[in-house]
Amino acid sequence: MIFNYIRVSTVQQNTDRQLLGIDCDRAYEEKVSAKNTDRPQLQAMLMNLRADDHVNVHELSRLARNTKDLLVIVEQIMNTGASIQFHKENLRFDSGKTADPFQKLMLSMLASISTFERDLMLERQKEGIALAKAAGKYKGRRSQFDDSQVAEIRTKFDMKSVNKSALAREYGISRQHLYGMMAA
């Protein structure tokens, strides 16, 4: 069987540009971050792979965003007897064949670059948020509670006899979030 794995990070993003004209028997498509391998469609595809199957992926970063995960997934695919091809980078890994040392090097290098790129993006994001907070322009996510609800929660919170964990559960928030609200 031929599988196409297609992924974007958010539901707002479009998958149309990935694997155009690449026929497959089954496509696995998801709109989730690749920060880890805990992705339903990825796991379903890996569970369905058999010897002589083939996986198509548009580019390395669509399969994984860090070097370790990418190498582990590629090895897992090959260990089942399947092959994988990254179309943008023109890299193919077939089980049973001795992997081309150049392609193994390219996989590791490009995966490292992808990881580096993600780390830089997260660093820039943190810097931007810190600057916006310092300028008073970033307040974080809007509270799910209006002022009267916050006042009600604060009244209950200030009572010594109230269990803070039970109070958090009552309002559907974590204990940590409850304490954060009360500190603000």
Give residue limits of the domains in the chain.
Answer: 2-117, 147-183
**Residue of 9, 61, 95, 174 marked active site:** 9
pLDDT tens sequence across 57-87: 999 999 998 899 999 999 999 999 999 999 9
pTM: 0.69
Q: Say whether 9 is catalytic.
A: yes
pLDDT surpasses 80 at 182: yes
pLDDT surpasses 70 at 99: no
| Candidates 2.60.40.1080, 3.40.50.1390, 3.90.190.20, 3.10.20.30; CATH matching 2-117 | 3.40.50.1390
Mean pLDDT value of segment 84-93: 94
Please state, for a pLDDT cut of 90, what percent of the chain lies above it.
Answer: 59
Cβ atoms within 10 Å of 139's Cβ, excluding its own: 9
> If you ran DSSP here, which 8-state letter would residue 52 be given?
T
Please state, for a pLDDT cut of 70, what percent of the chain lies above it.
Answer: 97
Q: Tell me which H or E stretch contains 83.
A: strand 83-86
Four-point Cα dihedral 52, 57, 60, 63, nearest 10: -90
Work out whether the CA dihedral 131, 136, 137, 140 comes out positive or negative. positive
